[in-house]
Amino acid sequence: MNNTPNLRLIDANLNRLREGIRVVEDIFRYIYNNKEIASRLKALRHKARIDLYNELLQSRDIRNDVLKKSTSSEQSREDLNAILIANFKRAQESSRVLEEFTKLHDAKTSEIFKAIRYELYDIEINLAR
């Protein structure tokens, strides 16, 4: 997996996954005061790791990111629910990308990201309750 474009993609999606989870986690922790769900999200965030920190950091190329500018839909949110939905989807999509690309390196790691994605789907059900 020492292919720089793959590492760059993995780095971006790891960041996106952890950031999305963190936003949702903080909402459940500080706004909803829901310790159970906040704890589940925190555990997921800690599972979202690959032991290639230095390689991932070296592959990071923010200056040449062709889509780093935010779209108008990313620049505004209607309400708290919109923030939650956007960040659940962000994390789920990133975990799917990680699930696919880590298959190139290690099927076990791929299964971890698959499990994270399904756990996010399960936690998301709480929005409808």
11-32 confidence digits (pLDDT tens): 889 999 999 999 999 999 999 9
Per the CB < 8 A criterion, the answer to whether 84 and 38 are in contact is no
Has residue 2 got a pLDDT over 60? no
Rounded Cα gap, residues 116 and 84, in angstroms: 17
pLDDT in tens, 53-69: 677 677 666 666 656 66
This prediction has a pTM of: 0.84
Which one, of 6, 7, 21, 11, lies nearest residue 89 by Cα? 21
Percent of the residues in the chain that have a pLDDT greater than 90, as a whole number: 60
